[in-house]
Amino acid sequence: MAGIKEEKKIYLVGIYCRLSKDDGTDNESASIATQKSILTDYVKKQGWHIAKTYVDDGYSGTNFQRPSFQNMIKDIESGLINCVITKDLSRLGRNYLDCGLYLEVFFPEHNVRYIAVNDGVDTLNKSAMDITPFRNILNEMYAADISVKIKSAYRARFQQGKFMGTTAPYGYIKDPADHNHLLIDDKVAHVVKEIFDLALKGNGVAKICRHLNKQHILRPAAYAAERGETGFERHFEGNEDKRYIWSGNSVRSILRSPIYAGNLVGYKRIAANMKSKKRSSKLPEEWEVIPNTHEGIVTQEEFDIVQQLITSRRLPQNKGGFVNIFAGVIKCVDCGCALRAMNVHRRKRPEIIDCVQYSCNNYARNGRSECSAHNIEARDLFNAVLADINCFADMAVNDEKAVRAIEKRLTETDQSRA
């Protein structure tokens, strides 16, 4: 390439190829085979040696957590390669910020030369690198445009009542004649019906879990693994008993899902933007629901009653009522499981909440065979903690030595927990 100062250096070349679904399966110019051919010919002409080939097939350019790409980064850090070559910049990635990070920071810090053959980019050619950021911006704009089009197509099909999930929800299978339509799975539909029936009788999630565990029924993830669905078996490696232990989240998600009343549900989570992988959950009332898309396991009336029962069990939050300041902090002294807060209603006036108490979540889920309740009222716990805080505060004011003693005590406590 013109403008490059030749240097006598032995290059250990890693050629990197990437193909996304967005590139199209019929695009021969972008295929993995074509990329390998172009890069291999280029390396031969330079008289260099290919130390390793890295391929990510089916991965978006906006995602830099690709398996082979991450392996390449590890090899760079280990000194196994010192030159990376791609067909063009878009094969490296389509995220402007991340591409800039690798081109301008990571590669130079590790003395790695980067070349994008078709774009004429070479990190040894400083003048040619001036336009590189603009190429990265254009690549990202392309990815954003494709993302918008794909999302629009998915939404259109969803609004037509088409099921777009990879795996059918527990209690259903995909229709062999139309994979975008759900059919009732007769093998486990009765379990879903039983869960709703138990809830309609006033049983809480914990009691329903204990009932299912006693029945030795495969939990949803274990059932999916048994059906050959990928990505589920890893949850049970080394612990077969977990296959039959239902969690509160599993039962709660079934009771909450409009799917079981014959309605398609989607868009339950939202991402800040295209670059952000973090998604936040929407409230159930904000979910998008398409009614009557398939046969329900329960009636709409049964589903609505269960939603009312679930809502009535919720702890009041930030409305002048109970605020759980100890959430995620307090643990059971025996089993180490989190203590959960729950309303305690008056026996003769169940509509009145008498107090809020904490109890072992392990006991609530699995009963006496696993642990004991360890009940403690929230106000008693609050007062006990407040008393300790006041005691420490008084000591700090009155005795400087006590401050150092407290610091030492806290340090020793932290070290013992580590």
- Which residues are the active-site residues? 20
The β-bridge partners of 288 are 266
Taking the CB of residue 62, how many other CB atoms lie within 10 A of it?
Answer: 21
User: Can you read off the two tokens belonging to residue 238?
Assistant: 């080394």
Cα–Cα dist 208/194, whole Å: 9
Cα dihedral: 178, 180, 181, 186 (round 10):
90
The β-bridge partners of 53 are 15
Cα–Cα dist 156/150, whole Å: 10
Calculate Rg over the CA atoms of the chain: 29
| Cβ atoms of 249 and 361 closer than 8 Å | no
Phi-psi region of 228 (alpha: psi -120 to 50; beta: other; left: phi over 0): left
DSSP 338: B
Q: What amino acid occupies position 139?
A: N
H or E segment to which residue 269 belongs: strand 269-271
DSSP 284: G
Q: What amino acid occupies position 233?
A: E
Give the residue among 346, 329, 339, 330 at the shortest CA–CA distance from 373.
Answer: 339
Cα–Cα dist 192/277, whole Å: 32
Q: What amino acid occupies position 312?
A: S
CA 391, distance to chain mean position in Å, is: 42
CB-neighbour burial class of residue 116 (10 A; exposed 0-12, middle 13-18, buried 19+): buried
